Amino acid sequence: MIGPLFPEDINPVIDKQYMFLSQFLGGPSLYSDEHGHPMMRARHMPFPITRRHAEAWLSCMRSALEEAGHTPELRDLLIERLSGPAYHFVNTSEEET
Ligand code: HEM
């Protein structure tokens, strides 16, 4: 569902995601130091994101957290923290797709 939105070379996105999540979760401001203010909703505007995309993104993140071996408590906490932003980035209704 969300794979086609991403570029073929996913590595730069992986790096940015690492930097962003580090600071989002209270760590060092790696993302802002290199890329400026996160403005994450604005940065997602070029991509049509529906509620189904947000659900798919959260489901991929849940699988990744499972694969990485995190505890169910930490997985639930992170998914809860990320659900707000994920639904906030929705910028397209299902009818528009
Ligand atoms: C709601 C569903 C989401 C979709 C469909 C989505 C999709 C995308 C896409 C297509 C890109 C751009 C890749 C590129 O061409 O460079 C991107 C970038 C990014 N996304 Fe998401 N995303 C979603 C939610 C989130 C959430 C919840 C977060 C974190 C709270 C997040 C963090 C990022 C970051 C840090 C970048 C890199 C921004 C940059 O270019 O500097 N995304 N996302």
Q: Which atom of ligand 1 is nearest to the CA of 90?
A: 1
Residue among 29, 32, 57, 79 to mutate when testing ligand 1 (max atoms within 8 A of CB): 57
Q: Return the pLDDT at 97.
A: 75
Provide the 8-state DSSP code for 18. Answer: H
> What pLDDT does residue 18 have?
97
pLDDT in tens, the chain (97 residues): 999 999 999 999 999 999 999 999 999 999 999 999 999 999 999 999 999 999 999 999 999 999 999 999 999 999 999 999 999 999 999 888 7
85 CA: nearest ligand 1 atom = 27
- Quote the pLDDT of residue 96: 84
* Alpha carbons 78 and 52: distance in angstroms, whole number: 19
Q: What is the pLDDT of residue 57?
A: 98
Cα separation, 60 vs 36, in Å, equals 27
Domain boundaries, the chain: 9-38, 39-97
Fold of 39-97: Globin-like (1.10.490)
